[in-house]
């Protein structure tokens, strides 16, 4: 067996790439260029040798700060360009390469220029806003002053004061009389005019009323124009107000309230001639300021446009430099302080490429000393790296969402590529719905180049990322739909005529057995005559339930077989003898035997009750099976299988912990006395792992862990097999939902001669099919297939406690930033 396994050809993605731990000794003068070339290659994962140091204690902290400052300036430019509604150039003009120092100077000059232009623009905008507000106040306040003695204003103020206190009514009447008589100056009546945000008017008026105890008259009118906020560049609605009051104390209170609410007040003369003169002056200055503002905006937009041409290239350059210095900060100086020492992981196949890149860096930097690259031994486990393409990557991501594979252990995604979409299709089987999914997948794949460059929403991005999963799910759904013979729940005679005919006029009205076989079986899938017959539901339920058990037992057996390949690959004979063998015996003694009974019953056409057989296999294994016997020798076979299942449980539980304890004792026997006579050099030669095992081995902990693992497998064998019945349940639910929508919506609406009812029924059927069957049911079947792979399949062999290989790469850096 082992020789046969050894001779098997290697399978792509079955094992992660072989990794090696390397050390780099790089001269200081070529360190920056070497790290840059390694970032372009993207095949070396650096290890942080300064993890105990804070970011401010590292060697290249100043260069990293400079890059961070330049990134801040570039973000500032980007925000300014977006606020100005200018589009950044997707294809920047060709520019000669510039050094980081030159770029830093350019960015500083651009920032100073922009800040100065923004400050001048804000000052001009503030002046413009003040003049515009003054103009609006003049236009509206004049109307209040002219009509201050009218009955409408006095009556409104009087009505408002009636709801306050009785003492305020006399004051309001007195104010009205004074306004009517026009003797405002002799009575001491004054007013303040200004402008405030519309959202604050109600609270502002209430505060004025309370502060003056009702001894004021508040008039307001909406401004005809919106005013731009110089900070947020948003248009704000304003309201002009005029407050009439009496007394110096009231004036002080009103001014403080205006200041608190951010209201701007402007003096309005009572003389109409002065009002007109001021209005003309304000309008003239507004025109001048508007022209100045337009010229300033044009100049600023021109400066931003010149920046936007190079912005994408500058951002990319600064990101790369920042990443290079972050990596350099992970390196250590050697004793001479002339070389940097770095460590990291790389795939074995990439060693030659990395050495070529380092040689090129040495040559380009004119260094007199070459870069030393050599392999080292490492105590820690290597990272996991699978070379995937755009098709297999999404299946690998599904597996990695459960847990990243341990280094070199069997990768479930090799089988997930087929089993995941197939189990989905078993639950979703309908070749009409499968065609709809196929069309969607084809559209996503055909527009792949365009969609990959666009900014997609979170849901659309997930659908686009799983386009190849969707493609396989749709193809398998069409295949399973042809087996179920369902096209939007309607059966078709695609592969010939039915093998059955009805005893009565209608199979649905039959009182006895509805269908009678009169010719050879239907060549592919379910016979269409089962649809609508009295036996349809019992037949399909029996078929799908038994098929679910067969598929579940087959997939669980595959998982256990993969645990054998893991044990053989890692040379763990204990796992093979005391884990793989008893697990295979236990699972197949019970549920493998059940699968055998199902297949035998299908082949022989027996009427045996499999529930009775399996239950009494445990309760009365020696009793005669009677009419439930499917083949000769079934009863002794059941007794043997039951005994094997019972023996397999202690086989899994006891031998492995005791053997591990014996091996540990033999390995370290007399070691505690032998160490006293050894030198320090001998202690160094002993591997760390041996000393750790000697210190950390705990028999009780190992035994409890093995006991938990054994109990989990025994219980899981039952629960996982039952869990696969979800394939039957969801397939039945999908089929019944399709039938309800077809018969109770489409056919019911089509029974009317009214075209409107037919169109309405067709619309409801299309909506239900799209949103319930194609979206909700697809998501439901997807999640259940995910559960079957993560829990029922992968737990049989997959540890998933590794960590991903994350090389230093400029490509992934740009993708993460985007």
Query: Residue 144's pLDDT is what?
Result: 73
Whether 195 shows a pLDDT value over 80: the answer reads yes
The tokens describing 238, both together, are 């304003």
Rounded to 5°, the CA angle 670-572-653 comes to 85
Q: How far apart are CA 540 and CA 740, in angstroms?
A: 17
User: Bridge-partner residues for 239, per DSSP?
Assistant: 196, 222
Are the beta carbons of 86 and 301 closer than 8 angstroms?
yes
Are the beta carbons of 421 and 475 closer than 8 angstroms?
yes
Q: Predicted confidence band at 722 (pLDDT cuts at 50, 70, 90)?
A: very high
What are the residues whose beta carbons fall under 8 Å from the beta carbon of 480, sequence distance 6 or more?
422, 425, 426, 428, 429, 434
Average pLDDT estimate for 761-772: 92
Closest CA to 407 of 389, 380, 388: 380
Average pLDDT estimate for 511-539: 77
Q: Could you give the C-alpha distances from 453 to 90, 309, 818, in angstroms and in order?
A: 11, 19, 11
Query: Residue 165's pLDDT is what?
Result: 36
Tens digits of per-residue pLDDT, 123-165?
888 888 888 888 888 887 777 776 554 433 333 333 433 333 3
Q: Other CB atoms closer than 10 Å to residue 358's CB: what's the count?
A: 23
Are the beta carbons of 654 and 662 closer than 8 angstroms?
no
Q: Other CB atoms closer than 10 Å to residue 414's CB: what's the count?
A: 20
Query: Residue 189's pLDDT is what?
Result: 76
Query: Residue 8's pLDDT is what?
Result: 61
Whether 672 shows a pLDDT value over 70: the answer reads no
Q: How far apart are CA 618 and CA 698, in angstroms?
A: 37
Are the beta carbons of 145 and 221 closer than 8 angstroms?
no
DSSP state of 804: B
Query: Residue 816's pLDDT is what?
Result: 60
Query: Residue 282's pLDDT is what?
Result: 86
What SS3 class is residue 447? coil
Residue-by-residue DSSP string for 290-345: HHHHHHHHHHHHHHHHHHHHHHHHHHHHHHHHHHHHHHHTT-EE-TTSSEEEEEEE
Q: How far apart are CA 541 and CA 644, in angstroms?
A: 32
What are the residues whose beta carbons fall under 8 Å from the beta carbon of 121, sequence distance 6 or more?
230, 293, 296, 297, 300
The tokens describing 2, both together, are 């082992």
Tens digits of per-residue pLDDT, 591-614?
999 999 999 999 888 888 898 899
Whether 473 shows a pLDDT value over 80: the answer reads yes
Q: Predicted confidence band at 188 (pLDDT cuts at 50, 70, 90)?
A: low
Closest CA to 634 of 594, 663, 667: 594
Q: How far apart are CA 598 and CA 341, in angstroms?
A: 65
Closest CA to 26 of 337, 330, 340, 328: 340
Average pLDDT estimate for 233-243: 85
User: Bridge-partner residues for 288, per DSSP?
Assistant: none
Average pLDDT estimate for 4-22: 78
Q: Predicted confidence band at 321 (pLDDT cuts at 50, 70, 90)?
A: very high
Whether 673 shows a pLDDT value over 60: the answer reads no
Closest CA to 425 of 17, 785, 678: 785
DSSP state of 247: S
CA-derived radius of gyration, the chain: 41
Percent of the chain having pLDDT more than 70? 86
Average pLDDT estimate for 219-228: 83
Q: How far apart are CA 94 and CA 262, in angstroms?
A: 50
Closest CA to 414 of 712, 794, 803, 696: 794
Query: Residue 158's pLDDT is what?
Result: 34
Q: Other CB atoms closer than 10 Å to residue 475's CB: what's the count?
A: 17
- The mean pLDDT value of the chain amounts to 84
Q: Which of 670-674, 692-696, 732-736 has the highest mean pLDDT?
A: 732-736
Dihedral of alpha carbons 349, 350, 353, 356, sign:
negative
Write the secondary structure of 357-386 as one string of H (helix), E (strand) and C (coil): HHHHHHHHCCCCCCCEEEEECCCCCCCECC
Residue-by-residue DSSP string for 715-769: HHHHHHHHHTTHHHHHHHHHHHHHHHHIIIIIIHHHTSS-HHHHHHHHHHHHHHI
Q: How far apart are CA 385 and CA 347, in angstroms?
A: 8
Closest CA to 580 of 565, 596, 595: 565
Give start and end residues of each alpha helix (H) in 54-164: 61-83, 100-146, 151-162
Query: Residue 176's pLDDT is what?
Result: 40
Q: How far is CA 220 from the centre of its chain?
A: 52
Q: How far apart are CA 776 and CA 427, in angstroms?
A: 13
For tokens 């000059």, the residue is 109
Higher pLDDT, 276 or 647: 647
Query: Residue 505's pLDDT is what?
Result: 58
Query: Residue 620's pLDDT is what?
Result: 87
Average pLDDT estimate for 426-451: 93
Are the beta carbons of 496 and 523 closer than 8 angstroms?
yes
What are the residues whose beta carbons fall under 8 Å from the beta carbon of 732, sequence distance 6 or more?
540, 541, 544
Average pLDDT estimate for 665-693: 47
The tokens describing 517, both together, are 């076989």
264-284 burial code (b ≥16 CB/10 A, e <16): ebbebeeeeeebeebeeebee
Residue 266: φ, ψ to 5° = -130, 135
Query: Residue 675's pLDDT is what?
Result: 41
Q: How far apart are CA 790 and CA 672, in angstroms?
A: 45
Element (DSSP H or E) covering residue 259: helix 248-260
Q: How far apart are CA 813 and CA 3, in angstroms?
A: 45
The tokens describing 739, both together, are 């039938």
List own/partner pairs for 63-68 with CB under 8 A and 24 or more apart: 63/321, 63/325, 63/328, 64/322, 64/325, 64/326, 64/329, 66/100, 66/104, 67/100, 67/318, 67/321, 67/322, 67/325, 68/322
């Amino acid at each position: 067996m082992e020789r046969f396994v050894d001779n098997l050809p290697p399978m792509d993605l079955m094992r992660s790439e072989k990794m090696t731990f390397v050390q780099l000794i790089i001269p200081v003068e070529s360190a920056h260029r070497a790290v840059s070339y390694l970032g372009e290659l993207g095949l070396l994962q650096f290890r942080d040798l300064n993890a105990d140091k804070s970011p401010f204690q590292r060697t290249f902290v100043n260069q990293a700060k400079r890059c961070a400052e330049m990134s801040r300036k570039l973000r500032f430019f980007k925000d300014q360009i977006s606020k100005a509604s200018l589009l950044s150039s997707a294809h920047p003009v060709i520019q000669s390469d510039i050094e980081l120092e030159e770029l830093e100077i350019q960015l500083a000059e651009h920032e100073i220029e922009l800040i100065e232009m923004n400050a001048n623009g804000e000052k001009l905008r503030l002046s413009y806003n003040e003049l515009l507000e003054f103009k609006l106040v003049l236009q509206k306040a004049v109307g209040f002053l002219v009509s201050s003695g009218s009955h409408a204003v006095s009556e409104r103020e009087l009505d408002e004061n009636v709801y306050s206190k009785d003492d305020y009514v006399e004051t309001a009447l007195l104010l009205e009389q004074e306004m009517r008589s026009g003797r405002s100056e002799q009575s001491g009546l004054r007013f303040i005019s200004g402008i405030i945000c519309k959202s604050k008017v109600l609270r502002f008026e209430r505060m004025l009323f309370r502060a003056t105890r009702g001894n004021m008259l508040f008039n307001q009118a909406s401004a005809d124009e919106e005013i731009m906020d110089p900070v947020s560049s948003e248009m704000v609605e304003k309201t002009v107000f005029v407050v009439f009051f009496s007394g110096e104390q009231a004036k002080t209170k009103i001014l403080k309230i205006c200041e608190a609410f951010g209201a701007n007040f402007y003096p309005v003369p009572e003389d109409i001639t002065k009002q007109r003169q001021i209005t003309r002056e304000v309008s003239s200055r507004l025109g001048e300021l508007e022209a100045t503002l337009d010229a300033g905006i044009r100049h600023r937009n021109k400066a931003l446009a010149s920046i936007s041409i190079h912005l994408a290239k500058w951002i990319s350059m600064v990101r790369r430099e920042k990443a290079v210095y972050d990596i350099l900060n992970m390196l250590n100086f050697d004793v001479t302080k002339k070389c940097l020492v770095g460590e990291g992981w790389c795939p074995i196949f990439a060693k030659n490429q990395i050495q070529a890149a380092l040689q090129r860096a040495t040559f380009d930097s004119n260094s007199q000393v070459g870069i030393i690259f050599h392999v080292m031994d490492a105590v820690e486990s290597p990272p996991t790296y699978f070379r995937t393409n755009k098709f297999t990557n999404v299946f690998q991501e599904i597996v990695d969402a459960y847990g990243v594979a341990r280094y070199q252990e069997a990768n479930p995604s090799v089988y997930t590529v087929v089993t995941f979409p197939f189990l989905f299709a078993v639950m979703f089987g309908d070749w009409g719905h499968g065609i709809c999914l196929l069309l969607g997948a084809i559209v996503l794949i055909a527009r792949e180049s365009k969609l990959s460059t666009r900014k997609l929403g979170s849901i659309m991005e997930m659908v686009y990322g799983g386009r190849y999963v969707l493609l396989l799910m749709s193809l398998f759904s069409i295949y399973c739909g042809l087996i179920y013979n369902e096209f939007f729940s309607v059966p078709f005679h695609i592969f010939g005529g039915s093998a059955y005919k009805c005893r009565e006029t209608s199979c649905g009205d039959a009182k006895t057995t509805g269908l009678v076989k009169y010719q050879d079986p239907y060549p592919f899938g379910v016979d269409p005559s089962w649809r609508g017959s009295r036996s349809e539901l019992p037949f399909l339920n029996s078929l799908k339930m038994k098929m679910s058990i067969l598929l579940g037992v087959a997939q669980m057996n595959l998982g256990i077989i993969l645990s054998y390949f893991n044990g053989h690959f890692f040379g763990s004979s204990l796992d093979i003898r005391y884990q793989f063998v008893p697990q295979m015996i236990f699972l197949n003694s019970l549920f493998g035997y059940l699968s055998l009974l199902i297949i035998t019953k299908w082949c022989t056409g027996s009427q045996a009750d499999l529930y009775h057989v399996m239950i009494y296999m445990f309760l009365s294994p020696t009793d005669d099976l009677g009419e439930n016997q499917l083949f000769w020798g079934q009863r002794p076979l059941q007794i043997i299988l039951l005994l094997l299942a019972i023996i397999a449980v202690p086989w899994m539980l006891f031998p492995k912990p005791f053997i591990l304890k014996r091996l540990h004792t033999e390995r370290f026997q007399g070691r505690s006395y032998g160490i006293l006579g050894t030198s320090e050099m001998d202690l160094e030669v002993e591997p760390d792992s041996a000393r750790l095992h000697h210190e950390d081995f705990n028999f009780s902990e190992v035994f409890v862990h093995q006991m938990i693992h054994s109990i989990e497998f025994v219980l899981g064998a039952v629960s996982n097999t039952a869990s696969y019945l979800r394939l039957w349940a969801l397939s039945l639910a999908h089929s019944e939902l399709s039938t309800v929508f077809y018969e109770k919506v489409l056919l019911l609406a089509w029974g009317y001669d009214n075209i409107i009812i037919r169109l309405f029924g067709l619309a409801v059927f299309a909506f239900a099919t799209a949103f319930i069957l194609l979206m909700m049911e697809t998501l439901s079947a997807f999640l259940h297939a995910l559960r079957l792979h993560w829990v029922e399949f992968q737990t049989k062999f997959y540890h998933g406690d590794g960590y991903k290989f994350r090389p230093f790469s400029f490509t992934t850096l740009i993708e993460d930033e985007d």
